[in-house]
Amino acid sequence: MDGHQRLKRASIMFTFVVLHLVQAQDQQGFISLDCGLEPNQSPYLEPATNLSFSSDHDFIQTGKRGKIAKGLSYEYKQYNALRYFPEGKRHCYNLSVKQDISYLIRAGFAYGNYDGKNIYPSFDIYIGPNWWATVYDDRKDFEIIHMAKSNSLQICLVQTGPTTPFISTLELRPLRNDSYSTQSGSLQLVYRHFYISNLDVRYPDDVYDRLWYSNSWFGNDAEINTTHTVNSSNAFVVPQVIARSAAISGNASEPLYFFESTDNPSDNIIIYLHFAEIQDLQANDTREFDIVWNENITNSAYTPKKLEIDTIFNTSPGKCDDQTCYMQLVRTRKSTLPPLLNAYEVYKVMELPHSETHPGDGESDGVALDWESRLRIVIETAQGLEYLHNGCQPPMIHRDVKTTNILLDEHLQAKLADFGLSRSFPIGVESHVSTNVAGTPGYLDPEYYRTNWLTEKSDVYSLGIVLLEMITDRPVIQQTREKPHIGEWVGLMLTKGDIESIMDPNLKGEYDSSSVWKALELAMSCVNPSSAGRPNMSQVVSELKECLIYENSRKEGRSDMDSKSSLELSTSFTAEVTPDAR
């Protein structure tokens, strides 16, 4: 090889390395998982987008790898493999994120008849304990814009019927916090459209890798475009290819309109409209129009900015008549030109009442969960455990009761999940099962940890920890506290008489003191280091219901009840409360 050839090869290699570094830099903060990719396979650049995808192996410990049926293929490489979950009900990806940063979260599903059954699965996806969506089709993407409330995030797949959950790709993209901001809640994508025929747009044209689809139905509308650069540097950073195109009414006297359907008439909707004047206007030309949503003018006499994207949206969520969002841009009398629209996005506001990792957090998206709601969640969980202990034949012990295993629907109804560690126990003389220790540190019964004897009281201990989380809105283990374990810490605060420090400040004192005291007494009895000092689950349910009665009486303006606890408050704690993980 002569010097010229070596120099040329070195130049090509240098160019490749530089391009790869630039692409990696552009994708800073991106998480792009090809679910089912071999764990020993190196990350790859997806050919259509140059996005770097890696295996999901390090983010989940369950499931099996699969591939779509031979002869099938999808546009993007990450949809050709998948991870499916034939065993267990709930499976969660654990992701590291940055607290207080908004993320576009996209979960992609391509069934591709991987199992040869040719039956589209149906199952649910959750963000932590919060229901997100139901998967029901061959090929579907779900997007939600969600602000992380901690440094960890769980995306979970939950079996709801006879079919097997699966996932093809999981993608997270950090966004600017001043873009898709809401008074409360997260934003689930309904539609994201623009006006160029037969073209879809994503990364690298969109720096946030949003998926933009062409609105294939124009009616009498006309497509216009420009070769000028359009300033799209506002918080939403609309891709340049979209900013340079727009739709206008084909008839200058008629409105420009679009309509999109929603799943439920009660859905709270936010619509983002992106405008830029991209035509060269004459001195006597004027483009001015009213923005009308379901026959109500939301913005009057609006004029797009010259070669600059301007984004208009409703700060308060609205509803769509008969499940149809009908938006019109109506020319004013002053205007000489028809209305114009570059692109639009429709989102449904979803109130995720708890944090991404457990339902104990007292504040979610700026909205505090009240004391009554917290009590109901613990009651419903305790009732589920009571059924396992007393209603099943043979009786069952869950063994992994924790807040991340309590799932909530959109009505805050709780359902206990993940029975992968559950064990049956005999009825009769023997009150325990000898078994290897399994469970989650912090929630794990110290007596069970020490003796390997598993009893129904082990679930009682774990539920007591959950109740303390609901009361305090504090992590189970926090090394910076004087007492790292939540049970020890609450016990210390009680001996000091410092009740105010125990209570979640997000409650703002809105609770019945008798109800809270009774709940604290119950929680401390449940986390007694000795199982003999703990109540059974039936007693727990009964005591919790009394707590709820006190709180409801406060709300109804009654105070004719006396707080009487049948349980003795225990504040005796030792180091054995917090066994190390094995």
**224 and 77 part of one domain:** no
- Cα 310 vs. chain centroid, distance in angstroms? 29
Q: Which residue among 328, 350, 372 closes a domain?
A: 350
What CA–CA distance (Å, rounded) separates 335 from 255? Answer: 12
Phi, psi values for residue 501, rounded to 5°: -70, -25
Q: Once rounded to an integer, what is the mean pLDDT over residues 38-47? A: 94
Give the count of domains, the chain. Answer: 3
**Per-residue model confidence as pLDDT tens digits over 344-372:** 999 999 987 655 544 444 433 334 588 99
In a domain, 18, yes or no: no
Could you read off the pLDDT of 468-506 as tens digits, one per residue?
999 998 888 887 778 889 999 999 999 888 788 899 888
Residues annotated as catalytic (active site), given as ranges = 400
Task: Indicate if 235 and 148 belong to the same structural domain.
Answer: no
Whichever domain contains 169, its CATH number is 2.60.120.430
Strand ranges in 207-302 using DSSP code E only, listed in sequence order? 213-214, 222-225, 245-248, 256-261, 269-275, 289-293, 296-302
Strand 222-225 with 414-416, pairing: unpaired
CATH number at residue 500: 1.10.510.10
Distance, in Å, from the CA atom of 352 to the CA atom of 202, rounded to the nearest integer, reads: 27
Provide the CATH number for the domain around residue 226: 2.60.120
Both 410 and 519 in a single domain? yes
Q: Residue 187: name the closest of 126, 310, 129, 102 by CA.
A: 102
* 571 shares its domain with 483: yes
| pLDDT surpasses 80 at 420 | no
For residue 507, the SS3 value is: helix
Q: Is the pLDDT of residue 518 over 90?
A: yes
- The reply to whether 415 and 394 lie within a common domain is yes
What six digits make up the tokens of 277? 């004047």
Q: Indicate if 434 and 345 belong to the same structural domain.
A: no
| pLDDT exceeds cutoff 70 at 255 | yes
What is the rounded end-to-end Cα distance, in angstroms, of the chain? 59
Residues 346 and 367 in one domain: no
Q: Give pLDDT, residue 252.
A: 79
* 11 compared with 104, residue with greater pLDDT: 104
Mean pLDDT value across residues 228-257? 92
Calculate mean pLDDT across residues 321-338.
89
For residues 260 and 370, membership in a common domain is answered with no
Average pLDDT over residues 387-414: 84
Is-contact 135 82, C-beta < 8 A? no
AA letter at 21: L
Q: What is the pTM of this model?
A: 0.64
Is the pLDDT assigned to residue 568 strictly greater than 50? no
Q: What is the pLDDT of residues 119-140, one digit of tens each?
A: 999 999 999 878 899 998 888 9
Task: Output phi, psi for 113, to 5 deg.
Answer: 50, 40
Between 244-258, 329-343, 447-461, 546-560, the lowest mean confidence (pLDDT) is in 546-560
pLDDT at 570: 42
> Residues 142, 254: one domain?
no
pLDDT, tens only, 195-220: 877 789 999 999 999 999 987 655 56
Would residue 358 count as lying in a domain? no
> With contact defined as beta carbons under 8 Å apart, do 477 and 441 qualify?
yes
Give the domain range for residue 307. 191-197+207-350
